[in-house]
Chain A
Amino acid sequence: MNQGEEEITQVQQYEKVVKYIVKNTPFGQANLVIKDLCKIIGNINPQDPIMLQALKDHNEEHLALFKGQSTQILTSVLNSQEDFYVDQKNNETIQVDHEKLEIISRSQVELPSEPDLNQLRDALEQQLNLYLSQQFNEKICGAYVMYQGDASDFTFYLGITAKTINLPNFFCGSWISTWEFTRTQLKGDLKVQAHYYEDGNVQLKNVNTFSEGINVDLSAASESAKQIVHTISKLENKHLTGMDNLYNSMPDIFFKAMRRPLPITGTKMNWNENVHKLVANLKQ
């Protein structure tokens, strides 16, 4: 076996590890992690197919936002094809640069289209953008709406996300919620993450699921969209309030149970006294 073949085999062994590590990296830090992985493995760079695939999976799981000249797109497993992403609304396929989070090119394509569902989709998009502007960090936030099926049997997919990335101050956070609804049922999944790593590594990970009955009237698209987004925002706000309550109660029930700030005597430990007393006891 020559040198080249040996290296290929080794790197394939590393693939599983790379996938695991990049998948579990907080959003905003994947490029840095990949650089470090290349240093560790050696003879590999961030443009290697293994690294790029891991980065692609990472971006899709975190609903990464890609910007172009006049448009932007959220990527997820739902609109992902091998080499491009599908933009249902604009009838386009979009190619992206996963490292730079930029749109490289767009092409027109013919996609199946249902006029009734298009109306609801556009109304939902409008409501979601309003919702984003009211309650999310606008530096990095976005939403998507897609559907499958036809007027008699449909499923809509919604994604909402916002990110905070502040590497100079050692913190990142992300809010990722994905929803789907049929005529009568709305279901959602929420992932909240926060990472602070000055002098350490502290991470919050919070997941929740939602389910609520609804009634979608396709003939009243604007009204239906308002109701659906209103339901989503109500559920998300309730979750946030729950987090706030938890944070307020935690110091009392958690920290107090861990370690006292001072002994019950109110003074620090008297080392001199204790050292002499306890060591004398030992001798006996």
Chain B
Amino acid sequence: MESKEKIHSCLNILKRLPPTQIQKNAAALTSLIPDYAEELYQKIDKPLDIGQDEKGNQFIQSEFNRDGDSFRSPQNNQYYPPIDDAVYPSEQLRKLELKANAVFDEYRRLYYEGGLSSCYFWDKDDGGFATAWLIRKNVEKTKGIEEGSWSSINVIDVKTDGKSKWTYKITTSVVLEMNISSNQDVGKFNITGTLTKQKEESYEAPAGGKDIELFHIMKIGTLVEDVESYLRSQLDSVYFGKTRDIVFQTRFSEGEKQSIQQRQGLAGEFKQKYG
């Protein structure tokens, strides 16, 4: 219980620290609780890194394909840098992983028109499995944006009742970074942050267990699409709307405060007169 409380406090603090410095923030906190560092890192959402194999094929590096300091490629199932005695998905799951990557790549193409996607699967003790569907997209340096990136982290936990019912629980985090480093009018401007959403659905698989792999991919894919689309619509109003509102209620534009007070004054008069 004590470790749970400490990790909870760390996550509370991380929610308040600037997400642009997530690596530094995480390092600072894990230095306070070195025994629980691994556990904490797995709960942290940060922009996804990109690695490559010896032929230059890129793949996403994440907690979900990491063993020590090496990362597993979803294309050839090898670790880079190479290590002995690493963790691999079971043969069955690896087949599912290959199929999922092919289909998810099409999703990426349709919605992102660029960027990089990777899916990673791992076995669980309860007979189910879990998977992470990840996307990283960078914004080209354009119209004053120095750096901009989107990282989707979709983690799906998959359980069965042993018969034909499958339950999918998804947790999606979108990490956005937008950096403008030298705008004439505003100087250095940066908005960075994460939004998270969860959803759970259960479905009956087709009788006889036929094409169960395709079934999983369709169900997981549909969930990912729904939650990502929802978060994308939220980002507009939260990233921009909310931070903008906070600034403009701290420091009003010229004349704004007077007109608010005028309206409040008129509303007060109206109330008095007409009750």
- A: residues with CB less than 8 A from B are 14, 17, 20-21, 24-26, 29, 32-33, 36-37, 39-41, 134-137, 162-164, 171-175, 190, 192, 194-197, 199-209, 236-247, 249-251, 253-255, 257-265, 268-269, 271-272, 274-276, 278-279, 281-282
Contact = CB atoms under 8 A, between A and B. Distances in A.
A264 B112 CA distance: 10
- Which 6 interchain pairs have the tightest Cβ spacing? A242-B185, A208-B187, A202-B193, A173-B246, A263-B110, A194-B246
B228 to A, nearest CB: 7
A246 B32 contact: no
19 contacts: A24-B18, A25-B16, A39-B5, A40-B29, A135-B256, A171-B242, A197-B16, A200-B15, A200-B196, A200-B238, A201-B16, A203-B192, A204-B243, A240-B248, A244-B244, A246-B189, A250-B240, A269-B111, A274-B103
A269 B225 CA distance: 8
A241 B98 CA distance: 51
B128 interface: no
A20 B20 CA distance: 14
Contacts of B111: 259-260, 262-263, 269
A257 B148 contact: yes
Contact of B249 (A173, A209, A236, A250): A173
A21 B17 contact: yes
With a 10 A CB-CB cut-off, give which of B33, B187, B188, B235 has the most chain A CB atoms: B187
A171 B14 CA distance: 15
A162 B248 CA distance: 11
B29 A201 contact: no
Contact of B217 (A174, A190, A242, A275): A275
A164 B195 contact: no
Contacts of A196: 193, 238, 242-243, 246
Nearest to B21: A24
A258 B99 CA distance: 25
A17 B16 contact: no
B32 A33 contact: no
A53 to B, nearest CB: 17
B239 interface: yes
Interface of B: 5-6, 9-10, 12-21, 24-25, 28-29, 31-33, 98-99, 102-103, 106-107, 110-113, 137, 139-140, 142-143, 145, 148, 150, 173, 176, 178, 180, 183-197, 213-214, 217-218, 221-222, 225, 228-229, 232-233, 235-236, 238-240, 242-244, 246-254, 256-258
A261 B107 contact: no
Given A26-B16, A245-B185, A275-B218, A200 B250 contact: no
B250 A205 contact: no
Contacts of B14: 201
A177 to B, nearest CB: 9
B145 A253 contact: yes
Nearest to A251: B236
Contacts of A255: 232, 235-236
A201 B106 contact: no
A77 to B, nearest CB: 21
A279 B102 contact: yes
Contacts of A199: 195-197
Given A258-B137, A259-B111, A282-B102, A162 B15 contact: no
